[in-house]
Structure 1
Amino acid sequence: MKRILSVNLCILLLFVGSGCVKNNKPLVTRGFYYWKSNEYSLDEQELDHIKYLDVRKLYVKFFEVEPDPVFGAIPVAKTDLNVWDDENTAEKYLPYHANMRTLEIVPTVFVRNDVLTKLNPNELDTLADNMNFLISKYFNKNIHTGQFFREIQVDCDWTKSTRDNYFYLLRSLKKISHKTITCTLRLYPYKYSDVMGVPPVDRATLMCYNLINPLQNENKNSILNTEELEPYLRPSKKYDVPLDIALPVFSWMLVYQNGEFSGLVKKNASELHGALDSIRPMWYTVNRDIELDDIYLRQGDRIKKEEVTPATLIETIRLLKEYVPLGDSVTVTFFHLDADNLKYFADETLDSCYSHFSR
């Protein structure tokens, strides 16, 4: 009996020491972020992705909150998006009617961290009330699916110095709205929750991208790099709030002119086909003058092209399953729903990524 106990103890210690977790096969809710501000409606390609992938949640950025020297915290970058119950609207939407009836729209608000630096509790309560009012107003005016919203997500890169104010704002929004409150969670506060605290929300979405400053390491992909990601996940730890997952499906190009960074092009533009010569991994030189997104590229300019590959996504999912404890259910959300970026990902690839979490 003692020998059996010793063997079992060794196995247990080996498992604990590995820093891995044994996730059950969670029920996966498929989601997308929608982060564009100037589109009136979803286009047919985006609707095709929603239909094929059976997307059930769309996190729509309703607006951003930024500081104003006169008016305090104000909403900016308000989205123009209308989401329709397609049965009674344009003919092109009719094939998607069943999908739109089951699509949950989640109002999402980005709060700039510097908004939180000087607000007192009364001002934070006012901000929460204003956010709730504007969210409800926009939803009732622009979301025509016959549904009510149940969840509000807040996106903020909070710091240790703004933590208390941010957490107060989340609690106040919960009290005022009577909704499920979720928030985004960057990898640093996930790893160092003893320093950064745990936000007082119902769930948190772990943002598994934008790991490093894109201007500080010219040889690494700043959007998603598994060598940078893994140390944030190890050793495995239990987080005090249930976790969801967000993964990137976007690309961008950093433009350098005369050796200095001059702009960011937030898409993998087909207009540049034939205008770039590869000089090393991720790096290109412009071989002729060309205009792109109001940026004038000149012959000799250098471009760093960062994109996410299916192989990197699958490896990221493997690491998450190995080290991050997930519950019985998890929402997996891609950032973001945009036809320009998604044309580089086959629907079958994204479908496989969703499915990997429940294998």
Structure 2
Amino acid sequence: MKKIGLLVVLMALVMACTAKTEPVSTAFYFWRTTFALSPAEQNSLTDLQVKKLYIRYFDIGLQKGEAIPVAPIVFNESPKKYQVVPVVYIKNEVFLQTTQTDSLAEKVYHYIQQINQSADVSVNEIQFDCDWSLQSKQNYFQFIDQFKKLHPNVSATIRLHQIKYPEKTGIPPVKNGVLMYYNMGVIGSDDENSIYSQKIAQKYVASLQNYKLPLNIALPVFSWGVHVRNNQITNLIGGLRVNDLTGDEFKKISENRFKVLKDVVFKGRYLAKDDEIKIEAVSANQLKEMMRDIKKNSKNKPNEIIFYDLNENNLKAYENKDFKTVSSW
């Protein structure tokens, strides 16, 4: 009997350990205006067994007070190999001024349908990305309710501050959300990383335990360079990483900061002598750190880990095994 009891305990421990490392589906956001996958991107998606892509279809902004689509995607190749989730980014200003949410919902739905037809895809889920405010939430939530009459399966992105203060910010009326676990700080000329800071994240992540909406998790694999002149931000250089600043025009002055040694045109931008470039990126170890903190503070396992965003240069910054390790629960 003692042996049987010991065997039961051991089996329970094995099952518990197995559950801790159970894989979660891996997906990617595609955030370019032309859909075409490079061979390296295709190979990574195959190796990671990615079945779903969240593809940004278009933005919605204001022009002369009217909500209009901006920079719609063009499909240079078919995405039919993947389950496609159209994502529409809506600027908060739209819902600060737009009250005719029913007509906007119809226009957005029909425009998505046009793109689906041009790409010859059918979709099950549609996602909206909007950093709504206290002043815009009523219109935004009304828009979602109107849209669901046309397409019931809707998801929405959620920011950390919306997780912590749901009684103020509200919870969008969707089936599930995606927690955007990045862009946590203010882009500045100092040494702080605005994409990810564990110190900032820990002010919010405990609130996951009480959030009522089922959540998937979006993690950052993008990077940028912050161009600093006279301690003031000049612009952002998208996709820039430390390895891009190895020329004799640059001098490394800290782990992620470089000084410009002479006037130069770099990636189409003019850099003056004594300017500085601060690289903001997230390491593989930081991605694992994020997941440890999220897992520690979550009651439920997400269905998906979604990486932002799919780009060959972003993929090169990591090993495929890193994505596999992070996409486990």
Whether 1:140 and 2:98 are equivalent positions in the alignment is: no
Cα offset, 1:33, TM superposition? 0.3
Cα distance in 1, alignment partners of residues 144 and 26 from structure 2: 25
* 2:133 aligned partner: 159
Determine helix, strand or coil for the equivalent of 1:177: coil
Matched, 1:79 2:73: yes
Matched, 1:244 2:216: yes
Residue 161 of structure 2 aligns to a residue whose secondary structure is helix
3-state SS of paired residue (1:176): coil
Superposed displacement of residue 56, structure 1 = 1.6
Q: Distance in 1 between the 2:154 and 2:21 partners?
A: 25
Residue identity matched to 2:178: T
Moved more, 203-212 or 61-70: 61-70
The equivalent residue for 2:86 is 107
CA-CA distance at 1:69 after TM superposition:
0.9
Pick which of 190-199 and 346-355 moved more: 346-355
What secondary structure is seen at the aligned counterpart in 1 of 2:210?
coil
Give CA-to-partner distance per residue, 1:113-133, whole Å, 9 cap, x none: 00001222xx11111111110
Aligned residue for 2:203, secondary structure, equals helix
Q: CA offsets per residue over residues 301-327 of structure 1, 9 Å max, x none? A: 111111110111101000000002224
Counterparts in 2 of 1:54 and 1:228: CA distance versus 1, 3 Å: same
Alignment map for 1:284-299 (pairs within 5 Å)? 284-299=258-273
Q: Which runs of 5+ in 1 are unaligned?
A: 1-22, 86-99
Question: Taking structure 2 as the reference length, what is the TM-score of the superposition?
Answer: 0.88
2 CA distance for matches of 1:315 and 1:342? Answer: 19
Change (3 A) 1:235 1:242: closer
Q: How far off its partner does 1:259 sit?
A: 3.3
C-alpha RMSD of the superposition: 1.9
Paired letter, 2:98: L
Deviation at 1:236, TM superposition (A): 5.0
What residue identity is the alignment partner of 1:125?
D
> For 1:266 and 1:192, how far apart are their aligned partners in 2?
31
Partner of 2:313: 340
2:108, 2:132 → 1: CA distance?
18
Question: After TM superposition, what 4+ stretches of structure 1 lie above 4 angstroms from structure 2?
Answer: 23-27
**Partner Cα separation in structure 2 for residue 348 and residue 210 of structure 1:** 24
Tell me by how many angstroms 1:235 deviates: 5.1
1:3-18 correspondence to structure 2 within 5 Å:
none
Q: Which residue of 2 aligns with 1:43?
A: 38
Distance in 1 (alpha carbons) for counterparts of 2:207 and 2:140: 27
1:311 aligns with one of 280, 285, 293: 285
CA separation in 2, counterparts of 1:341 and 1:235? Answer: 30
| Shift, 1:228, TM fit | 1.0
For residues 105-163 of structure 1, give each alpha carbon's deviation from its aligned partner in whole angstroms, at most 9, with x where no partner exists: 1000000000001222xx11111111110111101102x4xx52000000001001111
Mapped to 2, the partners of 1:236 and 1:223 lie a distance apart of 20
Show CA shifts across 1:242-269 (max 9, x none).
Answer: 1100000011000012432111001125
Aligned length, in residue pairs: 309
**Superposed counterparts of 1:176-325, under 5 Å:** 176-178=150-152, 180-215=153-188, 218-234=190-206, 236-268=208-240, 271-274=244-247, 275-325=249-299
What residue number does 1:6 align with? Answer: none
Q: 1:61 aligns with which of 56, 66, 70?
A: 56
Match of 2:316, as an amino acid?
K
The answer on whether the counterparts of 1:277 and 1:287 sit within 8 Å (CA) in structure 2 is yes
SS at match of 2:193: coil
Identity of aligned residues (%): 29
Structure 2 residue identity aligned to 1:348: K
The question of 1:126 aligning with 2:98 is answered no
Alpha carbons 1:40, 1:80 under 8 Å: kept? yes
Q: Could you tell me how far apart the structure 1 residues matched to 2:290 and 2:216 are?
A: 14
